[in-house]
Structure 1
Amino acid sequence: MTGRAAGAAGGAPAGSRAIVVNAPGTHRLVTGPVPEPGPGEVLVEVAAAGVCMSDREVYEGRRAPGYVRYPVTPGHEWSGTVVAAGPGTDPALVGRKAVAEGFRRCGTCERCRAGDTSLCSAAYAETGFTHPGAFADHLVVPAGLLHLLPDDADPRGAALLEPAAVVAAAVRAGAPEAGERIAVVGAGTLGLLAVQFLTAYSPAELTVIDPRRERAELACRMGATEARTPADSPEAHGYYDLVVETAGARTTAADACLLARRGGRVVLTGMFARGAVGIDPVHLSVSQLTVRSVFGAPSAAWSLAVRAYGTGLIDPAQLITHELPLERYTDALALVGGGDPKTGKVLLRP
């Protein structure tokens, strides 16, 4: 991992620090004034921020055009404490632990009014991609996007509530029922969180499929009933009532459809790159599959994830393997997607 970084000279930093990616492959650790929240906004002191593959894509310039705006401070998975409220914002929010939705939806279009806030018709806007994110000491977000946490919430686990909300959206789309046979394709962050959510529905079988045996076995410790590699799974084709795809690898969308029984349901949650293998339309129609996709999470899914976290139904902190300071931003990116099966979730801790 290469790049150019410059930080404040030794000693405690004055003001507020932030990672700024000026252009692909080039970043700085800058120190400036603490941001001020505007009307309807809050200032959050960041406690922890998760690093995911999309953050690496931003740094390497592989994010799809229109879905990033340079220069940018990345960081869309985070938790923190509200330390200031802007004009017209409830001052009682100050001092509360919180997370916030990433999509900056308009709230007035037809899709927003229907509750599908992740399908907002306005121009794409998301914290960490088009607006300053949480790889910083502080960030400013609209107060209307906040989800408050219990006072005793662990900020480490709470930093993973953004991917947990995506998984909550996938679970809602899949509509699992007790006693069903369910497969999760992929044992990364999304896959392991999916296992934790789906366990609560008392499936008859909950199988995790991942080429990394170490990751699949970890899923069994989190509630899966079985772990398989793709090579072990041909006999499982046409078997599962529900398949939740979380890997976003080249063939996993097509593979997930093959795993579902006739009349079954498939939810695609991974982020696919160009060149991914398409779904066979003949198989899709003959098998009468229901296929849904998830990109981000609507407000209702965020609420579900925060409730599940607050009640202990999910424990995202189990996924964390590395915690690094802001100064080691490029080290964190190198760990993410580096191929080591022992690397789980990586956090930056301002």
Structure 2
Amino acid sequence: MSRSLVVEEPRRSRLVVGDVPEPGPGEALVRVAAAGLCGSDRELFEGARPAGFCAYPIVPGHEWSGTVAGVGPDVDEALVGARVVGEGFRGCLVCGPCRNGAPNLCASGYDETGFTRPGAFADHLLVPARLLHVLAPDADLRAAALLEPAAVIAAAVRYAALRPGETAAVVGAGTLGMLALQLLAAASQARLAAIDPRAERGEPALAAGATVFHRPGEAAEESFDVVVETAGAPGTGHAAVALARRGGRVVVTGIPGDPSDAVPTALLVTRALTLHTVFGAGPADWAYAVRAFDSGVLRPAGLVTHELPLADFEKALALSASPGAGKVLLRPDAT
């Protein structure tokens, strides 16, 4: 028996019971340990995700961890029993971006686990074995469920290329922001500012590696070598650019809810800034995040605040949007 949480159409979900799926050629069957919820899952449920970036009916769940329970033909049987996480983008493998290591930018179109392919809000998940990343044998699978957002932040940190002695700021102290602080603190602790309107995020931000915490506007007179934006809230892209020194580097990961929220071109040009944006994560970003996790540099366990069973999907969605909530997990083994 295997259960799956299916969103049949916007605002309608149900728990479906069926047979355990069989892995086909090149596939691995993963027993899901934990799967995280994020804003894109709320968009999917509410019907607010842009056309072309979702399909109904769908089993959501793109942030996950688990154990390989079986493999199909042409897959190394030594994978069975391994603790794993996995990439979500199903690139074509033949276009230019895929050949260049960026299946998240595949020219054949968008295709991702949990949005256009069945995801991990289920007991079992079928994925191409080539997408798996094997964790340490004693890895904490509860914490490892956050390695998908960590891989996105790894992409941002790799673009930022923070060097020892340089200063940095992170705009937004939610899950992505906390992961960014941990990785940036490992590169340089010269000055690492966390900026967020929620005062209660100050102590966790300092624990994550920030040297100082500011509310918006409190760092207006400062400038930083590197600024990483993680919030996707109105004005945060503008704030990130304004905080960068002349010749500095800015990486934007959030998608603003207000399409009229513009990054000021004048500041980009007059400050000669380097601006990068991030959409998802490629294989190299995943490898970076997994190494950081296995080594203890990345410590996502403390960001988990709630764990619920599959049947409580809609309750978990509401919790994930509530003030004070960190990462909310669905746990198939929970009752």
Pairwise same-fold verdict (TM > 0.5) = yes
Aligned twin of 1:347? 329
Equivalent-residue separation in structure 1 for 2:256 and 2:264 (angstroms): 16
Matched, 1:246 2:230: yes
Distance 1:276 1:188 in 2: 23
- Aligned-pair CA distance for 1:329: 0.6
Alignment partner of 1:277 out of 261, 267, 270: 261
Question: How far 1:154 moved relative to its partner?
Answer: 0.4
Which moved further from structure 2: 86-95 or 186-195? 86-95
Q: Which position in structure 2 is the counterpart of 1:127?
A: 113
- In the alignment, the residues of structure 2 paired with residue 252 and residue 320 of structure 1 have an alpha-carbon distance, to the nearest angstrom, of 24
Q: Does 2:15 match 1:33?
A: no
CA contact (8 A) 1:249 1:276 kept: no
Q: 1-side partners of 2:93 and 2:320: how far apart? A: 34
Q: Cα distance, 1:179 vs. partner?
A: 0.8
Q: Name 1:324's counterpart in structure 2.
A: 308
CA RMSD in angstroms comes to 1.0
Select which of 195, 200, 215 maps to 1:229: 215
Q: Deviations for 1:203-234, whole angstroms, at most 9, x for unmatched residues?
A: 31000000001113211011100000103222
Q: Does 1:262 align with 2:246?
A: yes
Aligned position for 1:23 = 9
CA distance in 1, matches of 2:101, 2:202: 35
Q: 2-side partners of 1:271 and 1:289: how far apart?
A: 20
One-letter code aligned to 1:218: P
Q: Tell me which residue corresponds to 2:104.
A: 118
Are 1:250 and 1:276, in contact at CA under 8 Å, matched by a contact in 2? Answer: no
* Separation in 2, partners of 1:95, 1:216: 40
- The alpha carbon displacement at 1:274 in A equals 4.1
Matches within 5 A, 1:168-317: 168-236=154-222, 239-317=223-301
Unaligned runs of 5+ in 1: 1-14
Q: Number of residue pairs matched?
A: 332
> Shift of the alpha carbon at 1:276?
4.4
Q: Distance in 1 between matches of 2:69 and 2:196?
A: 42
After superposition, give the CA deviation of every residue in 1:30-63 in whole Å (9 maximum; x if it has no partner): 1011111111001000000011111111000111
Q: Deviations over 1:95-153 (max 9, x none)?
A: 11101001111222111112223222122100000000000000100000000011100
Deviation at 1:155, TM superposition (A): 0.4
**For the structure 1 residues 24 and 225, does the alpha-carbon distance in structure 2 shift closer, same or farther, using more than 3 Å as the test?**
same
Provide TM-score, normalisation by structure 1: 0.93
Distance 2:260 2:91 in 1: 29
Q: Provide the identity percentage.
A: 57
1:175 partner amino acid: A
Q: How many angstroms does 1:273 deviate by?
A: 2.6
Q: Contact 1:183–1:209 (CA<8 Å) still a contact in 2? A: yes
> Which among 91, 94, 102 is matched to residue 77 of structure 2?
91
Aligned 1:38-187 pairs, distance under 5 A: 38-187=24-173
